Every structure is written in C-alpha cells, then in structure tokens.
Amino acid sequence: MSSTAPHILVIDDEPQILRAMRTILTEKKFQVTVANRGEEGLTLAAANPPDLVILDLGLPDMDGFEVCARLREWTQIPIIVLSVRDSERDKVTALDKGADDYLTKPFGIEELLARVRVALRHSAQSQGRKETIVKAGTLVIDLARHIITRAGNEVKLTGTEYKLLVYLAANTGRVLTHHSILTNVWGEAEADHIEYLRVYMRQLRKKLEEDPERPQYILTEPGIGYRFLADE
Amino acid sequence: MYRSSASSRFILGYLLGFLTFAITTGMLYVLRDYLDTPLIALLFLLPVGINTAFWGLGPGILSALSAFLGFNYFFIKPYYTLAVHQSSDLIVLIVFLVVAVVISQLVARAQAGLAAATTREREATKLYELSAALAGVQDDQAIVRIVATEALQTFTAEQVQVTVTPAKSQEWQLILPVEAMAITRNPEWTIPLQTARGMLGEIRLWRADATLEPAEERLLHTFASQGAMALERAWLTQTETRAKVLEESDHLKSALLSSVSHELRSPLATIKASITSLRSGNVQWKSSAREDLLATVDDETDHLNRLVGNLLDMSRIESGALKPQRQWNLIVEIIGGVISRMRKATEGHQLIVDVPEDLPLVPVDYVQMEQVFDNLISNSLKYAPPNTMIRISANKQDEGMLLVTVSNQGPPVPQEHLDRIFDKFYRVTDADRVTGTGLGLSICKGIIAAHGGRIWAENLPYGFAFNFTIPLTLDGTPPHTLPVDSETI
C-alpha cells in the first residue's frame, strides 16, 4: 500500500453506480478511478496500478471472469466482484478464478467499506508479517502455539477441526469458497465433498460459538462458502 | 408357409374324401344281400354330405361321382358292370346323381357362408381391438406403437415399420419387432396413413407370403385409416391444449402486471416522499426525524429488492429455468440463517425450531431453501396473531424423505382454499389487507417441486401448517461417509 490514500479502480457499466461510488469513496478518503468497459479497466490498471479493484461481473464487452483472469496474469491486487442475486455460480467462479471477495447488488455502503478494508488489510499482510494471534470476541486463536481458548478456557479440537480453523483464521474477514476450503484442508481429491464441510463446520461452531444456531464468528455465505469474522 | 399348408390341406381333402367313399362302399358291399337298392342309394348320400361339409365342394363332387359310379358298379344288377338292365334302377341311379350333386352344393354353400361369417367376425374383432386400444390415447408415439403391434400380430408379418411425418417437426419411425434384423428387400405392402387433411405417414409390412386375402387387405387398409385418424386426433388435441395454456398464461400475465405495478409503486412512493422531504430546503428536520425518514427509505429499498427477486424467481420457475444447485446441507443451519436474518420481523412472535440433532444431511440448494423458509415464515407472521407461536420442525420419514413443517396458531383456512393458496396471485383475504405479490407461496411450490418434493397446507386443531417433503438422496445416493478423525490437539 502506498503512503498516500489507497487507490481504487471501479469497473462497472452503470453510470449511476460509477457516479455514486466515486462520490462515496472519495468522501471516504480513497483515490478513485472509474471505467465502464472491461478493456478500458485493464488499460487503466496497467497504466496506474490501483491498490484494489471493484469489478462488476456483467460488463458489456467482456465477462468479468476474463477481466479477473487477465489482472491475475500480472498482479495480486485484491479484486472485489459485484454481482446480482441468484448468480451464486458466477460468484463462485470469479472467486475461484482469483477474486478476493464479492458483494451482491444492491448493497449497503457499510458493507462495501468493510469488504474494502478487509481486502486491503489482507493484501498488506500477505506482503508483510503474518498475525499469529487472532481474536474474535471471547475467542483467542494462537496460531504459533496451537492453542485455542474461549473465555479463557482451552478448547480441544480434532486434527481436522484445527486445520479447518487455522485456514479460516488465516483468512479473517474474507469469503472462502467451499472448493478452496476443501482443497486446502482435505486436499484436491476431496474437493467435491461438501458434506464433510457441513459436518465439521457444525462441530466447530458447537465448540466455538455461544449459540451454534446463530453463529457470530463462522458465518455461512449462502451458496458460496464461509467467512470467518474476527475483531478488526 | 400359409400357402403351402393350404395346398397340402387341399390334396388331403381329396384323399380323405375318397377314403370315406371307399370305406362306405366296402361296408355296403358286405351288407349288399340284406339291403334294398333305394336304401343303399340313401346310405351312399352319407359320404357325399360328410365330405362336402369337411373338405369343401371339390371333394364333395368327387365323392358324388365316385358314389354314382360305385353304386352302379357294385350294387346295380348286373353286378361289376356299368350297364343297367332295369329301368327302375336307371331312375334310382339318375335321381341319386342329381341328389348327391345338389346336396354337395348346398352343403358347400352353407360352409362358404360360415367361413365368410367367421372371417368377418375375425375382422370385426381385430378392428374392435384396435379401436379399443386406440381410444383415448393422446400420445402419438403410443398410437404408432399400438398400430404397429396389432399389424405385426394380425398379418403375421416378419417386420412392421410405421413412419410418421408430422407437418411441423422431424419425421420419425417405429420398427417392430424391436430386435428385428434389418431387412434389405422392399416391403411387400406399403399403406399410406392418410386422412382428409393429408398424408401423415405410412405403414410398411414385410411378410413371407406376399399375397393377402381380399379380407385381409381390407383389414390392413382399415388399420391404416384408424391409425391415421387417431394420430390426427392426438395432434389436434395437443394444439388445442397449447392454445388453452397460452390463453391462461396471457391471463396470468395481465394479473401479474396489475399486481406488480401496484406492489412496486407503494415502496417507490414512500422512497420518493422521504427523499423529496429531506431535500426540500423549506423544512429544518430534527435529526431523529431525518433518521426515521432515512430508515424508511432503506427498508423500502430492501422491500423493493425482494419484490424484484420474487418476480425473477417466478419467471424462472415458469420458464423451467430454475435449476436447483443441490448440495449436501444441514437443514438446521439453513433455518438458523433465515431466522437470524428475520430477527427484526419475528420480534412479535415466538419462534421455535424443533430439529433432531441426528437429522441426516439434505441435498438442497441452500439459497432456494432459504427462500422457502423465508416465504413460509413471512406468511405465518402475516396471518398469525401477535405473541403466538410459530414452530418449525423437520423429521426423517420412512420413505427416505425429509418432512418439514412450519406451523402457526393463526386462523384456519377454509378447506376449498387449501390447495389453491399455492397458486399464483391467489389470496384467501382481500389484496388490500395483506401486502405481498401473491407469489411467495407459488415460488415455494416451484422450488420444492424442482427438488423432487411436495408441498401442502393443512388446518390443525389450534392453527395452520405448511408441510413439505424433500428427498434425502442426491441422484439416488446418500451423503458420503466421513473419514474418521479422532486425534485431538
């Protein structure tokens, strides 16, 4: 991240959205560039690399996945994709193709800002040192010492549960697709066994959440995956 | 085969006819001295009648002539000559010949009449069978199969091929028997499937014996015309049904438009009013009032978004584009998600979730299932009085189905409405009293149906319940069993 205000590139074909985003994000002390075509967005990104890209999946000239893939050819800057409801499959495809997060239109601006913050922080972290202690409410995960405590009491986890939690905690605030969790925790061969994930997430919630039916830390992203929320 | 058996039967007739005559002659020869000449003549008529009756006119005439000659040779004096001395014997002989020939002709005519009647009866029976089989069949494939099967049996054909050439679509055909080898030679018989409106196709018949009796040929043509008529009827019915469906969907579309414009306009009106108030420079808004107006705009925007979502879902269900992404899910997780999202709306009611801990995973589309619960709970909230209980339960059924019930303590719904509440735009109460597009429950029905389940409503002794079922297997298989994980950290 540069020392000046973070630079955000917004690629969307709706002039009203671009106008609103420019106004709001500028007001929130971001530097904003806008593009209403995929090709234009790629050119702008190459000419003046932004710190983050907000990309609409439904562009008129090329599909959002391609923009994602072309950006990923040369940069790891975070990409947040915008999409409409009921296109879970598109969102998952974009995420698996390198996008960092997604937002469903219409969205609240607080939600957008939270996603932007998480994405910027994560990209800063992956360049610098990693956090070894993750705190979420009364929950403390010490990744270096392999100790998890809830309200001061140690929580016992099985090997798989621990691997799962470590993966979640390393990606605090980010959406993780079913596929990426399964591949990272169980391995490529088990990537389709979403049933493992359901069962282990339930076990994990029972051990970590106050009310497993209304989780506060391990959130379900319907049709997409999970998101681990920790204190900022 | 049929022909060769007929000709051997023909020769056999003559042989047996002659044999009958020979036996009669032999027996009468032994008794010659005890019998009068007229009696012998009378007895000689027996083989003539029998032969005609059993073997037909030819053998009958043969035995009549043989009897005439035999009678003269063996029984009229002088014996063993064909000469006749007494004039009375001559008369007996002539009368005998005439009677024998007349009898054999009469019997033969009666036989022919009987045979014709039998053929006609067989024809009528076959036709009856065909029209009975075709009656009420509306599927053109089924009609063609019936015609082909009947033709194969009735005409003892080696192979039957029915080709159908519909006016607007691809030509197709059916060949029976199914395992038949390809026959390279041309079919012996080709009959068009013709109606007043034109050619609908043709029947091709391969048969070892190329010739058909006139009656059989007539029957074959009748088969073809019956088949053609049934096909035409089926196609006409299809067209009519399509027209009816179109008319109905037209009617629904206008209902949709009126419902939608009303529903979309009310949140828009609220938003417009709030925003213009805030922008007008004349009034100094207190900060609490500002907050209120902004919150209203926020809520109404969400409401509008939900409405648009509902419309989209409905059009997807209608066009068959709603394809659930079925994945293994915990029903309790889905219910929990919906309830926490609806927390504000459900504050005035008591929500109880009753799902057993050991419930298996269910193969459902998470997002669509959320919508089902959202719609069923919203509906319950609308009709159940405040501070009453809304209960959500799920249980495994014996037949590998999951039964989910969302019950409330609201008023019962009259029996005649119970099935129809899942129809589009169907409302039990007046549209003005309750908000919504009238689409929520029909979307639920569409989603559950797309999952292979069933949804229905029922009145309870103290309330009302929605029930639905969902199969517990995905493509016929239960969830994958988990690898053992016992080691603890």
B335/B100: higher pLDDT: B335
- At which residue do the structure tokens 């007539």 appear? B218
Q: Collect all residues of chain A within an 8 Å Cβ-Cβ radius of residue B332.
A: 213
Dump pLDDT digits (tens) for A144-192: 888 999 998 999 999 899 999 999 998 888 899 999 999 999 998 888 8
Confidence band for A2, pLDDT divided at 50, 70 and 90: very low
User: Taking 80 as the threshold, does the pLDDT of residue B249 lie above it?
Assistant: no
Instruction: Find out whether B400 and B365 touch, Cβ atoms under 8 Å.
Output: no
What percentage of chain B reaches a pLDDT higher than 70? 94
- One-letter amino acid at B27 equals M
pLDDT at position B430: 54
Partner-chain contact A198 B370, CB within 8 Å: no
- A/B interface, count of CB pairs below 8 Å: 71
- Phi, psi (5° rounding) for residue A153? -95, 135
Burial status of residue A213 (CB atoms within 10 A of its CB: 0-12, 13-18, 19 or more): middle
Contact between A53 and A69 under an 8 Å Cβ cutoff? The reply is no
Query: A-chain residues within 8 Å CB-CB of B489?
Result: 146, 156-159, 162
B469 vs B84, more confident: B469
Residue at B293: amino acid letter: L
Residue B119: predicted pLDDT: 83
Asked if residue B101 has pLDDT above 80, the reply is: yes
Q: Which pLDDT value is given to residue B354?
A: 93
Q: Is the pLDDT of residue B211 over 90?
A: no
Over residues B328-342, the mean pLDDT reads: 90
The pLDDT of residue A33 is 95
Round the average pLDDT of chain A to a whole number and report it: 89
- Confidence (pLDDT) at B436: 64
Residue range A87-137, pLDDT digits in tens: 788 888 889 888 999 998 888 889 999 999 999 988 887 766 667 888 998
Q: What is the 3-state secondary structure (H, E, C) of chain A?
A: CCCCCCEEEEECCCHHHHHHHHHHHHHCCCEEEEECCHHHHHHHHHHCCCCEEEEECCCCCCCHHHHHHHHHCCCCCCEEEEEECCCHHHHHHHHHCCCCEEEEECCCHHHHHHHHHHHHHHHHHHHCCCCCEEEECCEEEECCCCEEEECCEECCCEHHHHHHHHHHHHCCCCEEEHHHHHHHHCCHHHCCCHHHHHHHHHHHHHHHCCCCCCCCCEEEECCCEEEECCCC
Report which of B443, B442, B423, B425 is spatially closest to residue B434, judged by C-alpha positions: B425
pLDDT for res B402: 94
Q: What is the structure's pLDDT at B434?
A: 54
Using a CB–CB cut-off of 8 Å, the residues of A that contact B are 85-86, 88-89, 106, 108, 146, 156-162, 178, 193-196, 198-199, 201-202, 213-215, 220, 222-223
In this prediction, residue B427 has a pLDDT band, given cuts at 50, 70 and 90, of low
Per residue in B45-68, pLDDT (tens digit) is 888 888 877 777 788 788 888 888
Among B residues 308-367, those touching chain A with beta carbons less than 8 Å apart: 309, 312-313, 325, 327-330, 332-333, 335-337, 339-340, 353, 361, 365-367
Q: In this structure, are residues B217 and B11 in contact, taking their beta carbons and an 8 Å threshold?
A: no
Whether the pLDDT of residue B2 is over 50: the answer is: no
Across B183-211, average pLDDT: 83
> Angle B374-B377-B383 (CA atoms, 0-180°, nearest 5)?
135
Cβ–Cβ below 8 Å for A199 and B482: yes
With a pLDDT cut of 90, the percent of chain B lying above it is 18
In degrees, rounded to 5, the angle at the alpha carbon of residue B287 between the alpha carbons of residues B281 and B288 is 125
The answer to whether the CB atoms of A159 and B330 lie below 8 A apart is no
> Helices (DSSP H) in B77-181: which residue ranges?
87-134, 140-154
pLDDT at B489 over 60: no
What mean pLDDT is reported for chain B? 84
**CB atoms B487 and A158 under 8 Å:** yes
Handedness of CA B214, B217, B219, B221 (dihedral sign): negative
Residues B193, B162: Cα–Cα separation, whole Å: 9
Rounded to two decimals, the ipTM of the complex is 0.85
pLDDT digits (tens, 9 = 90+) for B117-136: 888 888 888 888 888 888 87
Q: Say what the pLDDT of residue B285 is.
A: 76
- For the ranges A143-157, A167-181, B242-256, B408-422, the lowest mean pLDDT is seen at B242-256
pTM: 0.63
Tokens of A81: 């994709």
Calculate mean pLDDT across residues B352-370: 91
**Tokens (6 digits) for B462:** 């103290």
